[in-house]
């Protein structure tokens, strides 16, 4: 199956339909009057759909098992056609589009099975997804496309040429995937004056965000938070919490990181871990959602 361990958990909703077309009005009347020999068609088919949606990963090999936290089945009768509208919700890392379509198709198949003794001309068609919500694609159009970022690697060993930077490059890769332009990429030692100088300089240049990697641990030379916090106009605790919560689900050591998020005027300042995995996971935890902050900084109303 596709690896979804890097994805963040969000509310996911999908609505699908299937259309059952009978061949005579007497069939519709039998359903509405509850005189179908095999029982109540709407109730039995709904039950079949609820069971079916839960078994989707058992039928389709690439579907992830996930918690189905809400389902609903609605019927719309129009002439000889019965439209099944099937809704599924979950709070998880991946969507429920296939689950909703599977549920709608099982409802339709059960209706077919119950009605075939009294109607040999039944058809099932128009199984399709009507709507989906949740995940980063649902929010992509809300982000500005003209943002610029500077990436600052804080490391004595890397700045001295004793080690190759991988964390900074991982951050750049994520930024580029979110359509953020890289205005600068530098490596500096773990010195408070150097760290502060870069933050002030990039803010004065109008850079939208400055992302530091390294110096957020507990060693004596880890001074990035001490350098940046006095410069911040406002902290953004929610970003810091999201980074650590996401990381803690993947390693028990994430709680030891002192990641920092805040603003200097309209510039977003982030201080992330210096390890490659720590930097990458931190970016996965908050991007692209963190880009919404620039709409708020510019005075846009919350949706």
pLDDT in tens, 124-144: 999 999 999 987 666 555 667
Q: What is the mean pLDDT of residues 31-60?
A: 96
Chain Cα centroid distance, residue 71 = 20
- CB-count exposure of residue 56 (10 Å: 0-12, 13-18, 19+): buried
Which residues of the chain form beta strands (DSSP E)? 10-21, 70-78, 81-92, 123-133, 148-154, 181-188, 209-213, 234-235, 260-264, 267-272
Q: Is 113 a catalytic residue?
A: yes
The CB density around residue 19, as the number of other CB atoms within 10 Å, is 18
CB neighbours of 264 closer than 8 A, spacing ≥ 6? Answer: 199, 200, 203, 231, 232, 233
The CB density around residue 139, as the number of other CB atoms within 10 Å, is 16
- In this prediction, residue 155 has a pLDDT band, given cuts at 50, 70 and 90, of very high
- In this prediction, residue 293 has a pLDDT band, given cuts at 50, 70 and 90, of confident
Q: What is the mean pLDDT of residues 18-35?
A: 97
Catalytic one of 3, 34, 62, 113:
113
DSSP per position, 23-72: SSHHHHHHHHTT--TT--HHHHHHHHHHHHHHTHHHHSTTPPP----EEE
Q: What is the mean pLDDT of residues 152-181?
A: 96
Q: Are 138 and 199 in contact (CB under 8 A)?
A: no
pTM for this entry:
0.76
- In this prediction, residue 299 has a pLDDT band, given cuts at 50, 70 and 90, of low
Instruction: Give the length of the chain.
Output: 303
């Amino acid at each position: 199956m596709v690896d979804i361990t890097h994805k963040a958990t969000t509310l996911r909703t999908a609505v699908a339909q299937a259309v059952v077309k009978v061949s005579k009005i007497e069939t519709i009347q039998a359903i509405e009057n509850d005189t179908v020999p095999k029982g109540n068609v709407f109730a039995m088919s709904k039950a079949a759909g609820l069971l079916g949606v839960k078994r989707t990963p058992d039928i389709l090999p690439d579907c992830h098992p996930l918690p189905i936290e809400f389902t609903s089945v609605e019927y719309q009768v129009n002439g000889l056609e019965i439209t099944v509208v099937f809704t599924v919700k979950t709070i998880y890392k991946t969507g429920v589009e296939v689950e909703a379509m599977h549920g709608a198709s099982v409802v339709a198949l059960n209706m077919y099975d119950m009605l075939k003794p009294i109607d040999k001309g039944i058809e099932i068609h128009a199984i399709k997804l009507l709507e989906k919500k949740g995940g980063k694609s649902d929010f992509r159009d809300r982000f500005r496309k003209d943002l610029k970022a500077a990436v600052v690697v804080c490391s004595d060993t890397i700045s001295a040429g004793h080690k190759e930077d991988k964390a900074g490059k991982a951050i750049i890769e994520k930024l580029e995937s979110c359509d953020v332009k890289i205005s600068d990429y530098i490596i500096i030692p773990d010195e408070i004056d150097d760290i502060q100088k870069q933050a002030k300089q990039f803010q004065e240049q109008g850079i939208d965000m400055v992302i530091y990697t390294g110096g957020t641990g507990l060693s004596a030379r880890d001074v990035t938070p001490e350098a940046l916090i006095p410069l911040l106009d406002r902290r953004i605790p929610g970003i810091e919490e999201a980074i650590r919560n996401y990381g803690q689900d993947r390693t028990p050591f994430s709680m030891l990181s002192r990641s920092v998020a805040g603003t200097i005027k309209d510039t977003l300042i982030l201080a992330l871990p210096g390890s490659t995995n720590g930097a990458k996971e931190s970016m996965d935890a908050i991007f692209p959602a963190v880009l919404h902050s620039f709409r708020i900084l510019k005075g846009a109303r919350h949706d």
